[in-house]
Structure 1
């Protein structure tokens, strides 16, 4: 059984794949925060800006088999005959709580490339085409290799230098979205700090949440 909060066709908004047409499949549940505001202060990840509780989002639901979910994802891709490889991004919450070999095989069989955005606290299964790891604070980091390390910045207990020796092709810093967490006059501080660090340490590239800037889902 797979529990999906929401699934929809959009443009990838963050990281190296930003701007790419994608089906987003957001799994319900996370191992670093319950998703409930009363638990945020005690969670290992306290700055999440995503609703991943339940299955009541757009095109959400529970799917009994990998083939059923793969078929659901396929129906959301609107361009089956344009010669472009369809792309699905499994995200969350924490997608590696649910993504397994059966689903990877079923989605590949449907013709999709698979991207995953994970907090890295769980080992990724084989077969993922694009793996983005976004470490969270002092949570254990099990997945230490992949295509893209995207670090939300600044995090007091997750300085960028802690991750520079890991086996990733791309290193990105993304300003923390503090729109719901602090007063408006302080919201520019994460962006300024991130730009400053990228300029001082050019191994890191700036990642912006372009979907929020463009006003798309």
Structure 2
């Protein structure tokens, strides 16, 4: 059973799948503690906040409520909601607190592609064909370390940046893994102009890519 904060269909706004119609599964629970996190309502897991899945689907505001849902129930929900997207993004919270293999395998068997967005602080349990986006969180309040195994598994590394020290952190992380075949993105934190200018300059310098959170510019979820 997965603790699900919300499920919705939208356009992926970040990284390699930018522009792709996607179904997002947002899982509850994260101890990493990123100061700029825009989904802090997914951090705590309280038994008092558990609700039926039907209530989760219709909620209209960000809340700490979650539902215990099986992989099979999620696939059924996609059909019930009339979702047309065939790409599923599993995010959080920190989705890799969970074993995502059963969910991803079922989705693949039903014709969906899968993607995980993780901080890289937990072991990644997912099938080989699942696309893994590691957005490494360094020196966060929770004290968790970015795992070499997560960097090795990543198909893309999407690093949040606001200042020069974030570039230095990324360069140190990249020394721990073989970057051949991996896509490296810089994503300006909070769409700050200074952060965006820094990210563009560093993308030019190191031949990386820019991720600009298109969904925020469009004003969609």
TM-score by length of 1: 0.78
The CA deviation string for residues 20-61 of structure 1, in whole angstroms up to 9 with x for no partner, is: 01000100111213xxxxxxxxxxx21111232556754574
Show structure 1 runs of 5+ residues with no match. 34-44, 80-84, 179-186
SS in 1 for 2:204: helix
Q: Give how far 1:199 is off.
A: 1.8
From 173, 178, 191, give the equivalent of 1:167: 178
* Counterparts of 1:131 and 1:97, CA distance in 2: 14
Cross-structure match for 1:207: 211
Distance 2:120 2:74 in 1: 23
Q: Kindly tell me the number of residue pairs found equivalent between the two proteins.
A: 192
C-alpha RMSD over aligned residues: 2.3
For the 8 Å contact 2:159–2:187, the answer to whether it is kept is: yes
Deviation at 1:64, TM superposition (A): 4.3
CA distance in 1, matches of 2:69, 2:83: 24
Q: Is the 8 A contact 1:70 1:103 kept in 2?
A: no
1:25-64 equivalences under 5 Å are: 25-33=25-33, 45-50=34-39, 51-53=41-43, 58=57, 61-64=66-69
Q: Is the 8 A contact 1:149 1:170 kept in 2?
A: yes
The answer to whether the 8 A contact 1:8-1:59 is kept is no
Please give the secondary structure, in 1, of the residue aligned with 2:3.
strand
- In structure 2, the partner of 1:194 is 199
- Name whichever structure is richer in helix by fraction: 2
Map 1:76-115 to 2 at 5 A: 76=81, 78-79=83-84, 86-115=86-115
Look up the SS of the partner of 2:186 in the other structure. strand
Residue 99 to residue 7, structure 1, CA distance change in 2 (3 Å): farther
Q: Distance in 2 between matches of 1:71 and 1:133?
A: 28
1-structure distance, mates of 2:183, 2:82: 27
Query: Structure 1 residue 151: deviation in Å?
Result: 0.2
- Alpha-carbon distance in structure 2 between the residues aligned to 1:205 and 1:5: 30
Distance in 1 of aligned mates of 2:158 and 2:81: 27
SS in 2 for 1:120: coil
2:157 to 130, 143, 149: 149
User: Any idea what SS the aligned residue of 1:121 has?
Assistant: coil
